[in-house]
Structure 1
């Protein structure tokens, strides 16, 4: 009898726990919207989500989603731990666009800044918030991507970031790593951030071939960037037709000089290689580095977690592989402590990579 009573007590406790958990996640209807929210303070962001997906990002992993992610980095990295400048992720690249968009490292960002500003103004959001929200939503449109955190409530920027804070692809690895360290990022976090190049394309490195992707699957957040950059190129750093470019062995694909060097430098080559066959690790490390980037210079205690508004990305349909016509023999081994993993080769003739179409 005592055992029966004890069991009933455990059942009662379990029911109470489940009931309390359900109450904790109770959603409320958002006004003037079909959405519901766990935190009512996040309701207005659902309106921004609907607007930006329909009228800018088109709910796809296309050029505008790629650009939305790019501007997050270019805005936030204008920050220093050792010098008195930069507000970090504060939207200064929009608010003080007349200054920052003239920097050579920000070439091409002006279009994205001009696209995002009306959404911020229409919905009463700060530029720092709209940049980080659009970046998180843009990433979520790409299959295989992690669901990024989004915190709202950044105050408006009060000053522009100085020139020289955004790394350039033609700079040496020590110079880039020193700049990133000054902003608070380790070499491992730098490589994690470069997972963004799996859904990136170049417009300004060579303006005659806009939309040239950095890997063969620019519509998927996958590990191909870490595989294809390790293939032997047809040139050497600095020998591409434009500054900051190394010729890729794949027709239609662009390889940044900095990516080429990161994949081969003693300080980063093994980190680079570790992502080649490990999609979960790449996604986890990218999400952690982006979480840090998105709040540079901000007082996190004053921000509201509205991550619930960010869509849940689909799973990628791509498994790691060598492009058609390439095998493990084409890999330029760089990591001294582990052999580059082997992958199947896609069937067919040598692969030509298609450009990312404009939106």
Structure 2
């Protein structure tokens, strides 16, 4: 065989080797890198229409379906303790769906108050599509937050077992917990103080229902359906009022009419160990989103070997691209109202929004 023929055959072999892998055929003409991901396209269609009100970013991501779905990813996954395991006790299975499998136990834990509603809303979808509870919880949270303007696109790995045990109690941090207690609990589950701040970017699309049940759907910032930095600004403002019936366990004074402030957010924003990370998100939206994506990747696989799961991230919608306005001090507020706590970096010189003093409307029920 001639040298020229050998070169031609070699080039052909390289071409064959470089051919893209064949994709699995899924419903509605879609394809996936792995056949195991096809079912998630069907789940996506179902929950976008019937759980998230046609892909809306509203109360359902954190307090109904979107808001609460994102909250549920944390409440399921944080049930994991290295310390309990080290002392010969069951330390929880992490992101294993136990909060749905054993709802009659785990939703009665004090820290999980109100979670029973989203668990019961989600369970029929998981059963309908015959997917593991742990997979469904993480998938729904990722899809829900992808519907929010400026939001992250979270990784989604599938293949968790549907066999689990009830999580031990007292593993979910509460709003009334001091920063030291929260940081210790998060460290026990494998997350640093900085990780904890990064996870709290979820509160940019959050509202409360149960700390003060008299005012359900009360947001934590003035832009509750947008994944932006206003939450990190407004949490640092001096509190002057309560939006509802007065002080409740886990609540502290808020700076704005209609806005709710958790004690835990207040303390973490002002703690010297976490304050600089908190403040850094105010002027760096990309950093906030990127770090949230990174820490959520780890949260979603607590208790699992990620290499044993199948990457189906391609099913998660790409969040809508938006140009977000820069964060501002709410109307009626000045830099003198800011309780900045980062010693290394001055608080950014933000402009003040025009108009009368800001008042925040409640998040409408889903």
Q: Provide TM-score, normalisation by structure 2.
A: 0.89
1:53: Cα distance to partner? 0.5
Q: Contact conserved, 1:66 with 1:138, CA < 8 A, in 2?
A: yes
State the secondary structure of the residue aligned to 1:246.
coil
- Report the equivalent of 1:3: none
| C-alpha distance in structure 1 between counterparts of 2:305 and 2:33, whole Å | 23
State the secondary structure of the residue aligned to 1:243.
coil
2:267 counterpart of 1:261: yes
2:202 counterpart of 1:207: no
Q: Contact conserved, 1:87 with 1:157, CA < 8 A, in 2?
A: no
| C-alpha distance in structure 2 between counterparts of 1:200 and 1:295, whole Å | 23
2:104 counterpart of 1:90: no
State the secondary structure of the residue aligned to 2:213.
coil
- Report the equivalent of 1:76: 77
1:358: Cα distance to partner? 1.1
- Report the equivalent of 1:313: 319
| C-alpha distance in structure 2 between counterparts of 1:345 and 1:316, whole Å | 22
1:40: Cα distance to partner? 2.6
- Report the equivalent of 1:131: 137
1:241: Cα distance to partner? 1.5
| C-alpha distance in structure 2 between counterparts of 1:357 and 1:271, whole Å | 31
Q: Provide TM-score, normalisation by structure 1.
A: 0.91
The 5 A counterparts of 1:293-332 are 293-319=299-325, 320-332=327-339
Q: Contact conserved, 2:97 with 2:164, CA < 8 A, in 1?
A: no
Structure 1 residues 251 and 26: alpha-carbon distance in aligned structure 2, compared to 1, 3 A threshold: farther
- Report the equivalent of 2:159: 153
Structure 1 residues 206 and 156: alpha-carbon distance in aligned structure 2, compared to 1, 3 A threshold: same
In the alignment, structure 2 segments of 5+ residues that lack a partner are 1-6, 60-64, 86-90
State the secondary structure of the residue aligned to 2:301.
coil
State the secondary structure of the residue aligned to 2:261.
strand
Q: From 36, 40, 44, give the equivalent of 1:45.
A: 40
Q: Deviations over 1:208-231 (max 9, x none)?
A: 100000011111111111100011
- Report the equivalent of 1:357: 364
| C-alpha distance in structure 2 between counterparts of 1:118 and 1:270, whole Å | 42
1:294: Cα distance to partner? 0.2
Computed over aligned residues only, the root mean square deviation of the Cα atoms, in angstroms, reads 2.0
Aligned residues: 342
- Report the equivalent of 1:106: 112
- Report the equivalent of 1:348: 355
1:240: Cα distance to partner? 5.4
Q: Contact conserved, 1:221 with 1:316, CA < 8 A, in 2?
A: no
| C-alpha distance in structure 2 between counterparts of 1:340 and 1:240, whole Å | 30
The 5 A counterparts of 1:46-61 are 46-58=41-53, 59-61=55-57
Structure 1 residues 103 and 49: alpha-carbon distance in aligned structure 2, compared to 1, 3 A threshold: same
Q: From 173, 191, 198, give the equivalent of 1:192.
A: 198
| C-alpha distance in structure 2 between counterparts of 1:66 and 1:92, whole Å | 20
In the alignment, structure 1 segments of 5+ residues that lack a partner are 1-8
1:98: Cα distance to partner? 0.7
